[in-house]
Chain A
Amino acid sequence: MSRFLLALVFGVCAVGMGSIPAVGQQYGDLTATFVYGGDPFVASPLKITSDKEFCDRFEVLDETLVVNPQNQGIANVFVWLFLGRGEQAPEPHPSYAETAEDKILLDNLECRFDPHALVLRTTQTLILGNSDAIGHNCKIDTFANPPINYTIPAGGQLEHQLKMPERLPARVSCSIHPWMSGWVLVKDNPYMAVSDADGKLEIKNVPVGTWTFQVWQQRAGYVNQVTIDGQPVEWVRGRLEIEINPGTNDVGTVVLAPELFAD
């Protein structure tokens, strides 16, 4: 938030950042796979406290840590381009124009938020949906944007725009069903992603050069201690510096120890 403001107010231009795409600008993709380093992790079911007759038919699991039993992949790890004080995001690759005004669905489905974690650009529109046969509401505790709390009728949809970039993923909850939770990361640039069910993520078309990305998981906070290729690596404040070259730039298989998720 304040980064954005500082840049806006003072017109601070990032030193050494290509904020205007130069002719012949080259791009590369960032990829990473996050895996759980402990014994197979089984999520526990959450306690359904209201609308039991509808919600009890689904198995609603604790999603604070989601590990794939097949390959230990960790879903819902957020990675975004980190900008220091006064730095501006680079001009996005032209391919991002196509999705700049997309509508991104955050559904209430089977008494949980679907998806559990998503990324949203300030130019995109969030659709708050409700595919369930009961009423839900959707409360998003944003920091830079006005927080919202809308009721969403069964089968209904609402559109909402979050116009300011957020520093961290914002928590989504449903007041009627307090076990429900989700996360939305809002940025004013497209260089962010969230890991899929196999723990994989990809951020495409990053301008070549050295960039810092920030890695965050809801239970671990900034992911600061990891193991890559058997070597312990420290990412201070979840910050991972990487040189992006044309082609694929793989961070590798990043192993997160169970201690990171300890209470």
Chain B
Amino acid sequence: MRKATEFGVGLTLLLVAGGCGMSRYEFEPNRVYLRAQENITRVELSPVQRQDIQDILAFWFGTPDEPRFPALADVPMDEILDLELLQAAAGPVGSEEDGTNFGVYRRNCAVCHGITGDGIGPAGAFLNPYARDFRRGLFKYTSTLGPMTPPTDQDLRLLLERGMPGTSMPSYQLLADRDLDALVQYVKYLAIRGSVERALIVESVDHLRDADDRLVDVDFDRDSPERIAAALAELTPLISFLARPWLDAPSRVVEVPPRPEGWDSSEAVARGRELFAGQVANCATCHGDDGRGDVDTVDYDDWTKEYFDPQNPRRVHEYLALGALKPREMVTRNLQWGIFRGGSEPEDVYQRIFHGIPGTPMPAAPIKDADAPATDLRLTTDDLWDLVAYVLFLSSSGDLVANGSVASSNVSGQ
């Protein structure tokens, strides 16, 4: 019955859309994550259970043309998301006489990142690396502590302005200030919406008793919004849990300590070189002693490993059929190129080493306090600066390092 209704609603929407200029853009269900969870647990959701997830999401977060977010008792959502800016980013492309733009996301981002923020826009499959799937709420280049702490608005804004060297992500420096702010808001919105969808999938797979049990007992087509909202109240802690870190992100920023005096001296480079090859920082195991990244490692990022098990590669076909992109092996960065996706200022490189790169095999450096005993094997922040010096040295004179001439003369360290 539900199938028939779906079809009917779809047909009506199509007809209406054709008739009055509404767009037909819809959020895509996260079929890949659902299947992965079904496979992990060997539980299969019924069509009604799947539809409930989409109906709940639409009730809370609206549509690509009319985004919204629920008011929560415990987390001030309007301090995380700005509805006016969201509306400017959403919807069809257009502008007013005074130059105010609408549909900024669709104009600039959706072709790669997709309407849903799944990284599977029309051009998505052709990019290398693939466009980011925002739906995990996981971002690689942030200033905040802990891999599950979201980026700050400023982190996202910086990324938009700078673009990401070495990828298809261009710089959007020329967009109007307001448009950039609108995009930051919309990326956060897609990330929160996407992670709530994942949580609802998990909730369904883990806790529904059988195929007839439902997350919420309402009729989304007929019940009043008040009744639906009341019935959904017991699920809103999921949103709170996933949204609160966005509110807290600014307080989780780790300030980069100032560059020590002589941070880029040849002595610092030599110390960094030693640390780079050593057992504690352990950079060379993947990047190679000379940073060229040509060590034989086979690994994938976390977005990929969610549906692809390198030990069992054949299994991937069922996910490809659901729209997942073909897994691409991760490439260890060649540090001699001097192309740093998260920025090439020394402070940027420091952050990458300090935080690691969430979602990738690049781990966070083990850091100790300055007054920790010598027996503590971890690194100090000064050690990190030495590593930064070496990494930047590699890209400034990589060829020389590679053939050993500079390494043995200028950088002997004494």
Identify the A interface with B (CB < 8 A).
1-3, 5-6, 8-10, 46, 49-51, 62, 64, 84-85, 134-135, 137, 139, 141, 143, 145-156, 158, 167-168, 175-176, 178-179, 216, 220-222, 224, 236-238, 263
Contacts and interface: CB of A to CB of B under 8 A. Distances in A.
A46 to B, nearest CB: 8
Contacts of B202: 2, 143, 167
Residue among B203, B206, B302 with max Cβ neighbours from chain A (10 Å): B206
Contacts of A220: 42
Nearest to A134: B279
Given A147-B148, A151-B365, A221-B39, A9 B297 contact: no
23 contacts: A2-B241, A5-B237, A5-B240, A49-B298, A50-B297, A85-B234, A134-B285, A141-B302, A146-B146, A146-B147, A148-B364, A149-B363, A151-B281, A151-B365, A153-B377, A154-B279, A155-B377, A176-B285, A176-B286, A222-B41, A263-B312, A263-B314, A263-B315
Contacts of B41: 168, 216, 221-222, 237-238
B347 interface: no
Query: In which size bucket is the chain B interface?
Result: 35 or more
A181 B199 CA distance: 25
A50 B295 contact: yes
Contacts of B360: 175
Interface in B228-253: 234-235, 237-238, 240-241
Given A135-B280, A148-B147, A176-B282, A64 B311 contact: yes
Contacts of B96: none
Given A134-B279, A139-B361, A236-B210, A150 B366 contact: yes
A178 B299 CA distance: 6
A151 B365 CA distance: 6
Given A64-B311, A146-B148, A148-B147, A153 B285 contact: no
Contacts of A64: 311
A224 B235 CA distance: 27
Interface in B274-318: 279-282, 285-286, 295-299, 302, 310-312, 314-315
B74 interface: yes
B238 A221 contact: no
A188 B240 CA distance: 20
Interface string B2-43: 000000000000000000000000000000000000011111
A9 B366 contact: no
Given A146-B146, A149-B356, A156 B280 contact: yes
A8 B241 CA distance: 12
A2 B147 contact: no
Contacts of A152: 366
A99 to B, nearest CB: 27
